[in-house]
């Protein structure tokens, strides 16, 4: 065992480690700070000068909302996100309840197929889905943007959690003559609230940030979501960097503010997506 000079348990190596960690944290935050500050300038160059920042000047935001269709896009994104969260929670918790607490022939085999579908990436199925939506005249509708968010992941996630709901509780409710739908809504749903919060956050972030599908499924500017509108901004006005940064800020701010308030649930909800296996 070598003896090192340490100050309060900090070796030179761990000080280096600390510096690297702090440096990376700064690199993580700096672009967003830059984005935010830049959105309050009228700078014609990408360099940020502190003298250019004017926090009373909202003209970039006003322009992006009124002239670049961000008002409508924000509204669209909100509708799609809320719709996705509600639909995914309702449908996934129903299915999870059916799989976990009911018996029907072929149940486990079907669930295995559900798990297999998790391996299918959306980019591989988007062309047939697009064709299908086109034939059902659903392109450029909220339906096409919302309905595609449902997948087997939510079912899997809630089923895992529902294993903790005691069968005896449901049986005694049944014996007391409680109708089936009330057992589900009044007993099961309140018990699985924590996992529903995670699923809502997961769905929220995925839906708010999704880009490729809205890019394909919306062709009229009325139906663009925020990410699509933001992607078009770079083509419109290359020299107005403040404007682009205002657009990026709007798209970033909604999940960020939620993250500030619900940090723990956010990290859990998003980290869940990796723990499928």
Q: Which residues pair with 10 in a beta bridge?
A: 7
Q: Does the protein bind other proteins through residue 98 (CB under 8 A)? A: yes
Among 114, 140, 142, 265, binds other proteins (CB under 8 A): 114
Least Å from the CB of residue 221 to other proteins:
17
Instruction: Indicate whether 23 belongs to the interface with other proteins (CB under 8 A).
Output: no
CA–CA gap between residue 197 and residue 85 (Å, rounded): 10
236 in contact with other proteins (CB under 8 A): no
**Interface of this chain with other proteins, residues 170 to 199, rule: CB under 8 A:** 180, 184
User: Distance from CA of residue 246 to its chain's centroid?
Assistant: 21
Q: How far is CA 188 from the centre of its chain?
A: 25
Site string for other proteins, 116-155 (x = CB under 8 A): -x-xxx-xxxxxxxxxx-x------------xx-xxx--x
Q: Which of 139, 147, 141, 145 is nearest to 87 (CA)?
A: 147
> Tell me, what DSSP letter sits at residue 262?
S
SS3 label, residue 40: coil
**Span from 25-33, 64-72, 164-172, 190-198 in contact with other proteins (CB under 8 A):** 25-33
Distance, CA of 224 to CA of 212 (rounded, Å): 12
Residue of 7, 9, 51, 167 that binds other proteins (CB under 8 A): 9
> Is residue 24 close enough to count as binding other proteins by CB under 8 A?
yes
> Virtual CA dihedral for 259, 265, 269, 272, nearest 10 degrees?
130
Which span (9-17, 54-62, 67-75, 162-170) binds other proteins, by CB under 8 A?
A: 9-17
DSSP 226-239: HHHHHHHHHHH-SS
C-beta of 227: minimal distance to other proteins in Å? Answer: 4
Among 40, 70, 202, 266, binds other proteins (CB under 8 A): 266
* Closer Cβ to other proteins, 62 or 127, answer by number: 127
**Would you give the DSSP letter of residue 137?**
T
Structural contact between residues 39 and 249, judged by C-beta atoms closer than 8 angstroms: yes
Provide the minimum distance between the beta carbon of 113 and other proteins in the complex, in angstroms, as a whole number.
Answer: 8
Residue placing its CB nearer to other proteins in the complex, 43 or 71 = 43
Name the residue nearer to other proteins (CB basis): 48 or 173.
Answer: 48
For residues 204 to 223, the per-residue mask of contacts with other proteins, x marking binding by CB under 8 A and - elsewhere, is: -x--xx-xx---x-------
CB of 222 vs other proteins, minimal distance in Å: 19
Which run of H or of E encompasses 160? helix 152-162
Which of 81, 42, 29 lies closest to 243, judged by CA? 42
Query: Total number of residues binding other proteins (CB under 8 A)?
Result: 94
């Amino acid at each position: 065992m070598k003896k090192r000079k340490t100050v309060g348990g900090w070796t030179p190596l761990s000080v280096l480690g600390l510096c690297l960690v702090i440096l990376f944290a700064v690199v993580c935050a700096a672009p967003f700070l830059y984005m935010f500050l830049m959105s309050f300038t009228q700078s014609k160059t990408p360099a940020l000068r502190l003298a250019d920042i004017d926090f009373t000047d909202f003209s970039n935001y006003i322009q992006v909302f009124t002239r670049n269709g961000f008002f409508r896009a924000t509204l669209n994104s909100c509708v799609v996100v809320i719709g996705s969260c509600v639909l995914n929670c309702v449908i996934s918790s129903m299915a999870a309840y059916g799989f976990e607490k009911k018996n029907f022939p072929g149940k486990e085999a079907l669930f295995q197929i559900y798990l297999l579908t998790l391996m299918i990436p959306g980019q591989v199925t988007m062309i047939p889905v697009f064709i299908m939506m086109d034939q059902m005249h659903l392109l450029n509708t909220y339906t096409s943007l919302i309905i595609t968010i449902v997948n087997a992941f939510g079912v899997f996630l809630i089923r895992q959690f529902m294993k903790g709901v005691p069968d005896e509780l449901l049986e005694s409710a049944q014996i007391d003559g409680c109708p089936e739908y009330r057992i589900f809504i009044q007993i099961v749903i309140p018990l699985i609230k924590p996992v529903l919060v995670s699923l809502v956050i997961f769905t929220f972030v995925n839906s708010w940030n999704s880009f490729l599908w809205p890019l394909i499924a919306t062709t009229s500017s009325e139906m663009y979501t925020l990410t699509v509108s933001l992607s078009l901004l770079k083509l419109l006005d290359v020299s107005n960097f403040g404007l682009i940064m205002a657009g990026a800020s709007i798209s970033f701010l909604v999940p960020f503010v939620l993250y500030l308030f619900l940090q723990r649930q956010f990290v859990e909800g998003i980290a869940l997506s990796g723990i499928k296996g």
